[in-house]
Each structure stands twice: as structure tokens, then as C-alpha cells.
Chains A and B, each alone.
Chain A
Amino acid sequence: MQPLKRITSRTVVIASTDIDTDQIIPARFLTTTTKEGLGRQLFADWRYQEDGAPKREFVLNRPEAHGAQILVAGRNFGCGSSREHAAWALHDYGFRAVISTEIADIFRGNALKNGLLPVVVDEEPSQWLLHHPGAMLDIDLEAMRLTLPTGASISFAIELFARHCLLNGLDEFSYLRGKLDDIERFEAARG
């Protein structure tokens, strides 16, 4: 895993609330048996026409979206299916952070394990971000701070262990494997 310390990027805004993981990646693409290349299918039904041509009005098809690493979305992003393909697709596309006022539980866990930072902010900064697409943001994970181009600085909370893993490029799995003795003792005690 690459360490993730700081993200400085313009934003892409998809203002809809309750964006479910079926929208992020439709079920028909879940027949894949690898993680790679899912960025092409990210938001497939919003992004492409029936014949596969890009829908010009969808934000990811506009030139200003190119290279953006931060997605700003409406409340309750990532609800629904547990498919980790949603986090893989966002990361593969190039996103490194998702900002919303609320991020669904399973998606949040999946994102953190794949180098995609879920940032939950209050209503006021969220409204500002939703109304300023393309804003250049600085996200400092070490300081747990998000800085707007206005100079305003907003702190955000993040689960501390996931933060530690992201900052140091560590895999949570190594830590869990380190607990195998405890797991064995637990099993033995239960009989």
C-alpha cells in the first residue's frame, strides 16, 4: 500500500444524496474476478449512453474532471450493497478522497482499506463544497484538516487505526495476523 498523507486536488461534485453502490458500479460488472480496471465502469449508467459513448453532460466526462482526486457528494454516499468493487472503481479511476456529510458504514470501511479517504464534514462546509465544483482543496490526513481555497480550515474525524495505516502505507491485515495468538487462546478458552 502507498502511504496516503496529503491530497491536494480540485474537486468533482456529484450533488445527489443517497448515492448507492449500484450507481457507483452496477451489478452486471461484478462478475469480474480481479480488482483491476474497474475505473472504466465507475458510474457506468450515469456516464455512458446505450451505445457506450460518453454522456457529455455527466460530470466525469467533462474536461475539468480530468485528474481530479477528490469527489464531493451529497449526504449518505455509498449506501446499499457491500460490494468493495465500488471502492476499487473509485480508486482505479483516480479518486483518493470522498467528501460528504454522511458516508455509509460498509462503504466507509471498504474505502479505508483501499487508499480512498472518506471525509465526513458538517452541513455548512458541505454546502460550500457542493456549490463550488472544481475548488482546489488540501486534505491533510496527519492533521485531520481540510483547507478550502478561501483559507477556511475544517477539521474532520477519522478512525485512528485506519489513519495510522493510511499514513504509513500499512495493511490492516498484518496487524490482524499479529493477533493470531490471541485468537487461538480465545478459541481454546471457548472449547
Chain B
Amino acid sequence: MTPRTLFDKVWSAHEVVAETRDTPAVLYVDLHLVHEVTTPQAFSMLRQYGLPVRRPDRTLATMDHSTPTHTAQVFGSVPIKVDAAAKQVRQMEENAAEFGLELFGMRDARRGIVHIIGPELGCTQPGMTIVCGDSHTSTHGAFGALAFGIGTTEVGHVFATQALLQRKPKSLAVNIEGQLQPGVTAKDLILAIIGQIGVSGGTGHVLEYRGSTVRALAMHERMTVCNMSIEAGARAGMIAPDEVTYEYLRGRPRAPRDQDWEAAEARWRTFVTDPKARFDASVEVNAERIEPMITYGTNPGMVVPIGAAIPDRQGDEVFDKAMRYMGFHCGEAMIGKTVNVVFIGSCTNGRLEDLQAAATILKGRKVAKGVHLLIVPGSQQIKHQAEALGLADIFKAAGADWRESGCSMCLGMNGDTVAAGQYSISTSNRNFEGRQGKGARTLLVSPLTAAASAVKGSITDPRELL
């Protein structure tokens, strides 16, 4: 048999009908994750056709994007501040009830960012196909699943059929070798990769992150890497499952148990790229040379090592426009630049380990005067764990604002926004114009760099404070 990649194997295991020149493949979907923002029109489509959700047992709904993070708005009697967001939340509740979907609603202890709770509950498993009307669905690829974002029309297709029409993308091996230096995180690794291959370097491809560096990453780090595959243009990024994956999944509420586990693990072990399997393309990444990274422009590919200066790309229209938007100039050092807001959270860096990393820096220190540090756990479970471990106390003692879970300030649609012209040092995934609020200026970093910059009140190399 021809040697096959991990991606080839997951793809062919879900091919209901193979593609032809004239028709795309019919691809089966194992798990459909659902949230309130990209589904209302898909439910309308079901109503229009008089159709049910075909497999509610393979569908899991939560609310994360438009939900508030203020405790009083989530658990108290204070109404959700943004009217349209409140309406969307209500509609998600009504739609879930009408179509018989399991919904982790506003006050559910299992609610959280959709890409955090899938793995947390053990729903995300190796070899699966997972889709969601959200581009950061690529996160779940960290388990060796083929996971990608879809549009709302396709959400409707999956509701009605549990399948999708898809052309098979090409494959791109990202071979990463060498040990990450102390103070350099998975976030810095993926930012460096995006800087290397560019924001469209992965377009049309499914990435597989491979090599000794990847094997040494813990699951939360693998998720951070796969999460930002889409920022390199790739709909999906995958990492082959191994002992680290199985150890993470064992005992999770929705992971297989007992004999089912044995059978599942045996099957999962087949989802690895065969020796000599061919990729359509490959890139080599040297992890040892990577430094803490920071973006300086208005897409995630405009990124430099934190100790570097903004490169000179004057005359490049996008660069010049980005400099005007950010209020920066080429040649300026990143270190020491002004910080107004620091956001730690999101599906990229809102996991317990991310909060622990931030706490190593914030413990016994204070947030600099005039800086607003917002820390938003990725799920309610993470919130409770962080409180039980004393992390929340460390954050509050430092002067941080500690909230309920949600997408929060990653995108300005739930009331958590950055004011126009303000500089936001953020652990999220997109530094697009206006992403965190109209006129907001976003710089993407790791949780370590975010925490260090909050303490110093200016952009700081976290290694100074470790």
C-alpha cells in the first residue's frame, strides 16, 4: 500500500463518496461544534426546508462570542449590555431547545470557548472530522483530528446531513526541529512559523506539524500551534497523536472508557503519517533560534522577535498603511513601547497552563499604573480550577480584572473592547484593524510577554522577569 499521511488517512476514513472531476467528495462529520454567532441563519434554513438536525448526538452547542464576561451579567440580574448580543444568546437557547441540541448555556459549569471545551470534555479525539462555523476550529487538529472552519451555509448542510461537500486540500509538512529556549512558548513558535511562511503560506493546504519540537510539546501547546494555522491561510493544522495525547484524554468525561478505551486507542495509533509518505510541500523550521515574538502590524505575519526593531518595508502599501494605523515607524524598537490594555485569554491562550504561565510573572507583582489587565479564562471549568489553585488570587492581588469565560476581547462584539488608538498587548490570534474594537491597536504575544508587559507598563521581554 502506498505510504499515506495522517491527513490522507483521516480524509479517506470519512469519504462517504469520493470526489470526481465534476463533483466534490461527500465527507462525513464526526463532531459538529456550534456557537451562537454563525448558526442563526443555518437554523432558519432548516425551518425553511422543514428539516430536523439529523444527528443531535454528534452536535454540541455552546455560547462564547457574544456572551458577556462580567459576573453580574452572566449570573446576576444585570442584563447583557449589548442588546443584539443578548438577542443572539436568547436565539441560541431557543434554537437548541427547538432542535433538541445539547447546549452548554450561560450558567452551565461546562460552558466556555467552543475550541477549549471540546478538548476539555474529551469530545475532541484523534482521527475524527470536526467542523464548526469558526475558523479557529483548526485548534482540534492538535489531537490528530481533521478539524476546520466552515461557513454558515455549510453549518446548515451538516445540521441536515452530517456531511459536507469538500475538495481534498493539498498537504504541507511543517518540520520543526530543536528545543525551544526558556521563556519561548508555543505561541512564539506559531508566530515565528507564520512570519516565515506568510499569512497565505498555507492557503489550499492542510498543515501537519512534525519533528522533535512538536513531540516535546504538551497538549495545551499543541492546541496553541494548531489554533493559529488559519492565520497562515491553512484551514486545518494537524499533529499526530501520541502518548501525550492519550494521557490528556484518559478519564475525560466524554472520552471512551474501559474496553472502549482500549479499542479506541488501538485505532487512534493508526492515525500517524507513514514513513516515506509524500507531502505536496514542506518547510523546515529551526525552533532553537526562536525568540519571544511580537506583532507590529495589522496581520499576524507582521511579526518580529521582541528584541528586534520594526523592519523597513517602506513603499509596501500594506506596510505603510499598517504603520499609520498602529502609529509606528520602521526602525523603532518594540521593547519599551506603550501599553494601555493587556488581554490574557482566547481560544489561543486561555487554557489553565496559559494562566499558570502568566501567574509565574504576576505573583507578588503589581500591574503598572494606567494599564488595564484583563484575564479571561477559556472556560468555566478553567475558571474554577484557576480559583482553586490560587491563580485568581494572584491576578487580583496584582490588580488584574478577572472575569467569566468567553471570547471576550479577542473580538469586539460582547462589550469587552479596546478604545480607539489604545495599544493592546494580547494573547489572542488576530491583530487585524479594529479586531478588538474600532481603532484598537493590537500586538499579539505569548501569555508570558503579556504578563511581563502588564507589570512594566511597556513592551517587555518576559525573560527579564522569569
- Where the two chains meet, the residues of A that have a C-beta atom closer than 8 Å to any C-beta of B are 15-18, 20, 22-23, 26-28, 30-35, 45, 74-76, 79-84, 87, 102, 104-106, 109-110, 113-114, 159-161, 164, 172-173, 175-177, 179-180, 182-183, 186-187
Contact = CB atoms under 8 A, between A and B. Distances in A.
25 contacts: A18-B299, A18-B301, A20-B430, A27-B412, A30-B38, A30-B66, A31-B87, A33-B40, A80-B432, A81-B134, A82-B133, A83-B151, A87-B151, A105-B169, A106-B150, A109-B154, A110-B151, A110-B152, A160-B21, A160-B22, A179-B17, A179-B26, A183-B162, A186-B16, A186-B28
Given A82-B133, A106-B148, 7 more contacts: A18-B200, A31-B88, A79-B200, A82-B135, A82-B151, A84-B133, A176-B163
Contacts, number: 174
Nearest to A22: B432
Contact of B38 (A84, A87, A114): A84
Contacts of B154: 109, 113
A84 B248 CA distance: 34
A176 B299 CA distance: 36
Contacts of B24: 159, 161
B65 interface: yes
Nearest to A26: B434
Nearest to B28: A186
A80 B17 contact: no
B411 A17 contact: no
A33 B156 contact: no
A104 B233 contact: yes
Contacts of B203: 76, 102, 104-105
Nearest to A17: B318
B413 interface: yes
B88 A16 contact: no
Given A79-B200, A102-B203, A106-B151, A33 B91 contact: yes
Interface in B11-32: 16-17, 21-24, 26, 28
Contacts of A183: 16, 26, 28, 161-163
Interface of B: 16-17, 21-24, 26, 28, 37-38, 40-41, 44-45, 65-66, 82, 84-85, 87-88, 91, 133-135, 148-154, 156-157, 160-165, 167, 169, 199-200, 203-204, 230-231, 233, 235, 299, 301, 317-318, 321, 411-413, 430, 432-435, 438
Contacts of B65: 27, 30
B26 A182 contact: yes
Contacts of A105: 169, 203-204, 233, 235
A83 B50 CA distance: 25
B413 A31 contact: yes
